[in-house]
Structure formats: C-alpha cells, structure tokens
Amino acid sequence: MTSVLDTRAVPPAERRDYWSAGIAERFFPMHVESVGAPSFEARLASGQVGPVRVQSIQGLAHRVARTQRMIAAADPECILLYLMTRGTIHIEQDDRNCALRPGDIACQDTSRPSTFEGRDGFEVLVFSIPKWFIGAQAADIARRSATRVDSGQGRLTGPATPFLAQLARTATSGGGLSGRDGEGAAQMLLPLLGSMYGAQEISDPRSRPEALLARMQRYVMDHLHDPELGPERIAQAHYVSTRYVHKLFAASGTGVSAWIRERRFEGAVGELRRSPETTIATVATRWGYRHPASFSRAFREVHGCAPRDARHLPEPVGKTPPAC
C-alpha cells in the first residue's frame, strides 16, 4: 500500500519536526532544516517493489544531513539511487558533490555521512536498494556516490530514465509490486546499475547465498521476540520463497526452525541466569513464546530440565548453553 507523508497535514510551526520524524521512520534519522523558503513544505509518496523501496519526494528548498552518529544509530545498508524529475538538488558525500537537474541520475550510500539539499521547488525519485541485493559490487557503486551519471554512458543508461519513472509510478500510485512480480521488477534494476556504474557482473541475488543467509540470520536475531517468526516471515522479509529459506539454512548445517529455537534458548538461559527474580512467563514472552507451558516443554526437550533449573547452570564455554 502507498504511504504518504505531507507537511500540509500539520500547522506550519510543526512541519519541520513532522517531516523529520516521518523521514526517520521511512528512511533513517537525519537532520532537516529549511533553506531560504518562507515556510517548510514537502510531500513524500512511497511504495515497495520487491526488496526495493521507492519514494517520490517533492517540496520547497530544504536541506537534510546524515552524520556518523545517526548512521551508528540506524543504517538500512542501502544504495539510494536518485532520478531527478523537476528543479534542482545538490548532494554531497565524502569528497564528492554534484548538482542534479531533470533527467540526471546519481546515488548515495546510507552507510556514509551525506547531505541532500533541494533548491527552490523540486521533485526527485529515490530508489532504496539493499546492498545485499546488489552484492559485492555495492562497494564499487558506493565509491562513485554523489557523482552524476553521464547520460551517454553505458548501453543501458538511455532506457534507465523511462524504466525508473514507470517503476516509481507503479510503486507510489498502484500499490507497488510484491511476490514474483516485485522480485522480477527489482532484479531488472541490476543490469541498469551495472551499466551506469561499470559493475557488469551484478547477478541474481539468489546466486549469493552466503550474503543472503547472513542477512536472514541478522533478521532473526532482531525478531526473536516475535512469536510469528518463522520460515514464512523470513521469506516475506527477503522476497524469496519459503523453500529457498529452508535451503539456505539447511546448507549451513542447521534447519531454520532449529536455528531460531537455539538462538531463543541462548537468550533465555542467559536471562534466567542473570535475572533470577524474572518470572518464567516473562522470559517466555520476551523470547517469542506465547505460553509459558509451551516454552517449558520445548526447553525441557532441548536441555533435559525445567527452565527454573537453568538459573543454576554454569556459564557456557561456547555459544550453546550447557545441558542441565
């Protein structure tokens, strides 16, 4: 579903803070300030195409900056690909900077400090492409951030503008693309990136299983508290099939459900040992179990004792908690 953020929804005095909060939620934390405009006005429409988030941003002159501290707090690890459609923006990163006018394309790396400044009235399309989706070539593309792509460069650069514009229209006004259609459309971005940035070997992300598995494992660690966490949820978050999730985890030597259970029990045992006053029910809920009884039953099957007995277990030598 299309997401819309419009500063006209709040009084003028509240618009900058409203925009800052909305941008932090949809992108990441950044500092926002007006640049010469009598009032702060901006609008964002966004949608999803497979793993790629697409935004249309328009507004009066303003500047946003992202610092190292903000990056440390939250980094989606994406390449932001810009297509300018109206007005002018100026972007900076590292020791590079460029001005973009209608039809121009450039990018920024979310993992490095940067600035973005809209001049007068402007509109720009932004494609947030996960680095894991791009693969190893993401580092090469990032080294050319804040550099305008030459409109005559690469055999695929010419068709890039109408393709990106149509993709943005579909994402921001038509509800986006999900499932196989979304994944297929997103994959069409890869040869465009390869042409524009000289990374000709960008391949299907499913051919990079180690990187994708690591991404999935990080996702699991961040969502262990969610009782709905499982192969289906992981597949949806990474725009692959449930079968492929099972395949990746099996190749690592541990099935996906077993890997999730092990990580949950590692956390639960640590909490039981550190916080003897915490109830079993609280620990169960905190580590993704709806009912204490099912947590206790699963815990006993794995460790051979009840959770309350785990409070007296010795500190583990490795990652796996010792058996009772």
Checking if the pLDDT of 47 tops 50, the result is yes
Q: Which pLDDT score, from 0 to 100, does residue 82 have? A: 95
Checking if the pLDDT of 243 tops 50, the result is yes
144: helix, strand or coil:
coil
Residue 241 carries which DSSP code? Answer: -
| Residue ranges, CATH 1.10.10.60, the chain | 209-312
The CATH number of 209-312 is 1.10.10.60
- 255 with 246: CB under 8 angstroms? yes
Instruction: List, for residues 254-287, the tens digit of each pLDDT value.
Output: 899 999 988 888 888 888 887 777 888 888 888 8
Q: Which pLDDT score, from 0 to 100, does residue 160 have? A: 80
Q: Which pLDDT score, from 0 to 100, does residue 248 have? A: 87
Mean pLDDT of the chain: 83
Compute, in degrees rounded to 10, the torsion defined by CA atoms 218, 221, 223, 226.
Answer: 150
What are the tokens at 317?
């030598």
Give the orientation angle of helix 179-187 with respect to helix 189-197, to 10 degrees. Answer: 10
CB burial string 86-98: b at 16+ within 10 A, e below:
ebbbebbbeebbb
- 237 exposure class (CB count in 10 Å sphere: 0-12, 13-18, 19+): middle
- From the list 79, 56, 268, 255, the residue with the least C-alpha distance to 164 is 56
At the fourth CATH level, which superfamily is domain 3-203? Answer: Jelly Rolls (2.60.120.10)
- Helix boundaries (H) for the chain: 15-26, 68-73, 131-134, 138-142, 157-173, 179-187, 189-197, 209-222, 231-238, 242-251, 256-274, 280-286, 292-303
Instruction: List, for residues 120-140, the tens digit of each pLDDT value.
Output: 889 999 999 988 888 778 888
CA–CA gap between residue 118 and residue 116 (Å, rounded): 7
Instruction: List, for residues 280-312, the tens digit of each pLDDT value.
Output: 888 888 888 888 888 888 888 877 778 777 776
Higher pLDDT residue, 249 or 29?
Answer: 249
